[in-house]
């Protein structure tokens, strides 16, 4: 039970710790100053959401997110939200493929070779079906988390006097809800696909509480590190490199690889969410479904997705907040139905 619980925890962390999070950009955008309470509240909300999503997935023995979506928001709305989730997963995966190619291009690897490399690795991952996704996260995510924690701890020791922890002014607490909502759609898509693999309720408790504590701890440490270089962050597109500016080039190289891994895990989560949604309707192995999907996506990495994202992401923001509200209310709705 404990081992399985940790497997699900790493699956959750792999879904959430994408390039935006690992680079520090998401954390700085949502938190920053006066956010200790916000991060603590986010940790609790995140654990609760994971628990509810996994519990519904477990009770439905789901292999994709549609049954879970129907439970959370009803059959009618789930039709619309189903389409929006597919568009969300598709667009973010295309962006991750482009990001993977662009990252390797900084090492003088041709862009298309970089895109093809990440595509091949994604197809290979699904040769082992769902187990490939679970095993990959169980192997990669602990390394990613430990590397990130090591860099942050070393930075904290060197700048211990610049780590402000003021518990009096905590005006940014509402950001806990928006940051939790940011991660809802991919969590629903991925965790709903493994409902039939969960064996005991104890696994859900370990995974949800563990992922909330790990993410909360990293987020607090990372955010306080960013606050200590707040005046310099605007100079860096990737805030993590502001923390690394006095480190040897070796560490910049290692963390660049870390960012690429974060891009890969995010792309894997997107592909997994889409192909698990259609696996009942398409009688093909997961690796073949992923290959066909990724071949279709590859040419789209050259298009200007900034316009598409500018239109879709505000809609996703509303969708995320709505589903977050439905998840938070789910235990109360369930109780009211049982009393009727």
pLDDT > 70: what percent of the chain? 91
**Residues sharing a CB contact under 8 Å with residue 152, sequence separation 6 or more, in sequence order:** 218, 221, 222, 225, 243
Q: What is the pLDDT of residues 237-259, one digit of tens each?
A: 788 888 888 788 888 888 888 88
Residue pair 327/72 in contact (Cβ under 8 Å)? The answer is yes
Cα separation, 122 vs 116, in Å, equals 10
What is the arithmetic mean of pLDDT over 272-300?
91
**Residues sharing a CB contact under 8 Å with residue 232, sequence separation 6 or more, in sequence order:** 242, 245
Residue-range domain boundaries for the chain: 2-319
Give the 3-state secondary structure of residue 132.
helix
Residue pair 62/196 in contact (Cβ under 8 Å)? The answer is yes
| Structure confidence at residue 311 (pLDDT) | 61
| Structure confidence at residue 59 (pLDDT) | 93
Cα separation, 176 vs 52, in Å, equals 18
Helix (H) or strand (E) holding 77: helix 75-105
Q: What is the pLDDT of residues 50-89, one digit of tens each?
A: 999 999 999 999 999 999 999 998 888 898 889 988 988 9
Q: What is the pLDDT of residues 135-169, one digit of tens each?
A: 998 999 999 999 999 888 888 887 666 566 666 77
φ, ψ dihedrals at 247, nearest 5°: -85, 160
Closest CA to 128 of 318, 290, 314, 337: 290
| Mean pLDDT of the chain, nearest integer | 87
Domain 2-319 matching CATH 1.10.10.10: the answer reads: no
| Structure confidence at residue 339 (pLDDT) | 47
Cα separation, 225 vs 98, in Å, equals 29
SS3 content of the chain, % helix, strand, coil (to 5): 80, 0, 20
**Residues sharing a CB contact under 8 Å with residue 192, sequence separation 6 or more, in sequence order:** 53, 56, 57, 62, 64, 65, 66, 67, 68, 69, 276
- 337 pLDDT above the threshold of 60: no
Q: Looking at residue 33, what DSSP letter applies?
A: S
Q: Give 262-276 as a DSSP string.
A: HHHHHHHHHHHHHHH
């Amino acid at each position: 039970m404990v081992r399985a619980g940790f497997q699900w925890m790493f699956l959750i962390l792999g879904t959430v710790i994408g390039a935006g999070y690992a680079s520090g950009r998401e954390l700085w955008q949502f938190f920053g100053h006066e956010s200790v309470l916000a991060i603590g509240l986010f940790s609790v909300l995140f654990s609760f959401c994971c628990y509810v999503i996994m519990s519904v997935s477990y009770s439905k023995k789901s292999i994709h997110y549609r049954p879970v979506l129907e439970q959370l928001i009803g059959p009618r709305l789930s039709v619309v939200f189903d389409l929006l989730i597919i568009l969300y997963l598709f667009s973010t995966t295309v962006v991750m493929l482009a990001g993977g190619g662009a990252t390797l291009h900084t090492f003088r690897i041709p862009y298309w070779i970089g895109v093809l490399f990440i595509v091949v690795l994604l197809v290979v991952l699904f040769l082992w079906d769902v187990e490939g996704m679970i095993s990959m996260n169980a192997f990669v995510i602990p390394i990613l988390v430990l590397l990130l924690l090591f860099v942050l701890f070393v930075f904290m020791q060197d700048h211990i006097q610049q780590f402000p922890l003021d518990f009096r002014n905590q005006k940014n607490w509402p950001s806990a809800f928006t940051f939790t909502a940011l991660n809802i759609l991919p969590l629903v898509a991925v965790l709903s696909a493994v409902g039939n693999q969960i064996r005991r309720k104890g696994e859900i408790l370990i995974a949800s509480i563990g992922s909330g504590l790990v993410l909360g701890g990293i987020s607090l440490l990372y955010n306080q590190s960013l606050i200590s270089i707040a005046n310099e962050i605007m100079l860096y597109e990737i805030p993590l490199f502001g923390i690394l500016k006095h480190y040897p080039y070796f560490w910049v190289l290692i963390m660049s690889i870390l960012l690429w891994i974060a891009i890969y895990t995010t792309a894997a989560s997107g592909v997994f969410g889409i192909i698990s949604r259609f696996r009942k309707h398409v009688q093909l192995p997961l690796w073949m479904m992923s290959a066909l999907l990724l071949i279709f996506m590859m040419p789209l990495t050259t298009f200007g997705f900034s316009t598409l994202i500018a239109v879709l992401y505000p809609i996703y923001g509303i969708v995320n907040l709505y589903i977050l509200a439905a998840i938070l209310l789910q235990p109360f709705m369930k109780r009211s139905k049982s009393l009727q």
